Amino acid sequence: MKTELNDRNWEEFFLTDVFSINSTSSGIDKNKLIRKNGTIPYITRTELNNGCDLFIGEQEEKYKKDKSNVITIGLDTQTVFYQNKSFYTGQNIQILSNPNLNKYNAQFIIKLLKIQMKKFNWGGNGATLTRLKRSKILLPISDNRQPDYEFMENYMKAKEQVLIKRYKNYISKRLDKLKSYLGVKSLSEKEWKEFDVPDIFPKLQRGKRLKKADHIPGKMPYVSSTAENNGIDDYVSNDEDVRIFSNCLTLANSGSVGSCFYQPFEVVASDHVTHLKNNDLNKYSYLFISQILSRLGEKYSFNREISDKRLKREKIFLPTNEAGEPDYKYMENYMKKIEYKKIKEYLQYLEKKFE
């Protein structure tokens, strides 16, 4: 079967000719959730993590889970995702279902749906159920002039194979560069010593409050106290009355207290995170220390935040060199050893999955 887009005939369809479109079966406000720890996706209008805000347990019986193998569209944000597991949702999520749908042709269709979503926007012109039902989509068709779901599936599978091959080549080369670090000493073979946090990070500075209503959509990560997505809570373009940091650690001082992440690029930092900087550190040594700093979350909580004063009194254990100083080179090499092992595992997974 040919898998080139220009080899196919295309035809315009109303979304209602392709999908059954309905509002969500649950629509639970986040503040009404019970059993917040679980394995069931809670889908909202967020643009991140396939629309999944968090994973929860079973909810009250009056809230029904939506079935898997559907496409979700968020009202106002116009977010479009494929859901491969049954899920609960927040408010204003529309559900598109079709028995011919699978994870491959769904991704093909989502690209086209997103084009249609551009005509909607936040507020009074959002992707309501009525407007969605009036919308049209252009799809490749089979000889009977119906959507060619098999072609869409095969097209996406072919694209996947190209990307998998490219990625496998990349990580194979990366493994060659990292294999020399397999001989790095284990953590138990190193001497460790306690250090005051300010001795490691002379510059401690909180971010600055930026109210949600003042966020200007953009491409710069906005880092807050979330424990997910490297601390990124939004993407903004604000450049006035904000604090922008890069090549540093951000430590959640409230909320998900103790969540610590390395930020390689420029980020706008909220007042719920503290910026930690040391010019002697690089990506790998920062990552090593971030895991140690994250343990601070065990002694703090939402009601007992890590204030600047408290952080300056904290101590952390670090591996040392012969001079009794923090051994940043060892930390770097140790993390490269870990990187090698993780990449090796993932390469084996890819080879097994796509053999």
Chain segment 54-78, per-residue pLDDT in tens = 899 999 888 889 999 999 998 777 8
Count Cβ atoms below 10 Å from residue 138 Cβ, excluding itself.
12
CATH number of 183-338: 3.90.220.20
Q: What is the pLDDT of residue 36?
A: 74
Every domain of the chain with CATH number 3.90.220.20 lies at 5-147, 183-338
Q: What is the pLDDT at residue 1?
A: 56
Amino acid at 57: G
The pLDDT assigned to 122 comes to 55
Please tell me the CATH superfamily of domain 5-147, with its number: DNA methylase specificity domains (3.90.220.20)
pLDDT of residue 2: 60
pLDDT of residue 352: 82
The model's pLDDT over 18-50, given as tens digits with 9 standing for 90+, comes to: 999 988 888 888 888 887 778 999 998 888 889
Q: Which pLDDT does position 125 carry in this prediction? A: 66
Low pLDDT (below 50) residues in the chain = none
Q: What integer pLDDT is reported at residue 295 of this predicted model?
A: 92
pLDDT at residue 126, as a whole number: 63
